[in-house]
Amino acid sequence: MGQPSWDARYQSDDFVYGTAPNDFLRDQITRLPVGKVLCLAEGEGRNAVFLAERGFTVTAVDMSPVGLEKARRLAEQRGVAIDTVVADLADFRLEPGAWDGIVSIFAHMPPAARRHLHREVVAGLRPGGVFVLEAYRPEQLDYGTGGPPTAELMMRLDTLRAELAGLEFDLAAETTRDIREGTLHHGRGAVVQILAHKPE
């Protein structure tokens, strides 16, 4: 979907993916070094705000200014601050070695854009920096409980290993789990999960 579609999705007062953090991110929070964290395709801000509440310095990136405005409001309601950047991840550039952590939760995009972004992730992490990813796998189409409408926008572990060459994988799994995130991620989901770090 392009920016107008995401803006329309985020237009309502409701948080369509909820205000609670992603379960996988919450479970891995102690593995992230406290410092500067970049949240990719952050939408309405639930994960960025969660991280800010725990002492991280957070920048949230998304193509939707409507979503990021809601993210700023959520942060204000929770008494924390986040930085926001409106950008298309298909050509987004990360400052090399700048980030202690990068978080990608359901950041689905076409393969060429995803490959570009993952090269940027590897370059953008500082040595010792950590990357956390959860995304839907193509098998998710059988569940119909959320995610993009086509398999090419989803991810597989073997593909991610190749795209993230230069990182060491501490956790890498393809699994099925119950997902309860607002109204748009609701039910059994086929996901891939990664926790990886950049060698010192």
Instruction: Kindly list the domain boundaries of the chain, sorted by start residue.
Output: 3-197
Q: How confident is the model at residue 3 (pLDDT cuts 50, 70, 90)?
A: low
Question: Whole-angstrom Cα distance, residue 74 to residue 143?
Answer: 30
User: Would the pLDDT of 86 be above 60?
Assistant: yes
Residue 185: per-residue pLDDT: 79
Angle at 1 between CA 171 and CA 173, to 5 degrees: 10
Domain 3-197 homologous superfamily, CATH: Vaccinia Virus protein VP39 (3.40.50.150)
**Stretch 87-96: mean pLDDT:** 96
The band of 1, judged by pLDDT with boundaries at 50, 70 and 90, is: low
Q: Higher-confidence residue: 62 or 17?
A: 62
Helix (H) / strand (E) element for 127: namely: strand 125-136
Q: What is the pLDDT of residues 53-64, one digit of tens each?
A: 999 999 999 999
Contact 66, 11 (CB under 8 A): yes
Q: What percent of the chain has pLDDT over 90?
A: 86
Structure tokens at 163: 């795209």
Q: What is the pLDDT of residue 25?
A: 98
What does the pLDDT read at residue 14?
Answer: 79
Q: What 3-state DSSP class applies to 113?
A: helix
- Reported as a single tens digit per residue, the pLDDT across 136-183 is 999 999 998 989 999 999 999 999 999 999 999 999 999 999 998 877
pLDDT band at 191 (very low <50, low <70, confident <90, very high): very high
Task: From 94, 103, 117, 83, select the one nearest 33 (Cα to Cα).
Answer: 103
Kindly indicate the confidence band of residue 131, based on its pLDDT and cuts at 50, 70 and 90. Answer: very high
The pTM score is 0.95
Query: Reading across the β-sheet that carries 83-86, which strands appear in turn?
Result: 83-86, 57-62, 36-40, 99-105, 125-136, 185-197, 168-181
pLDDT band at 17 (very low <50, low <70, confident <90, very high): confident
pLDDT of residue 181: 84
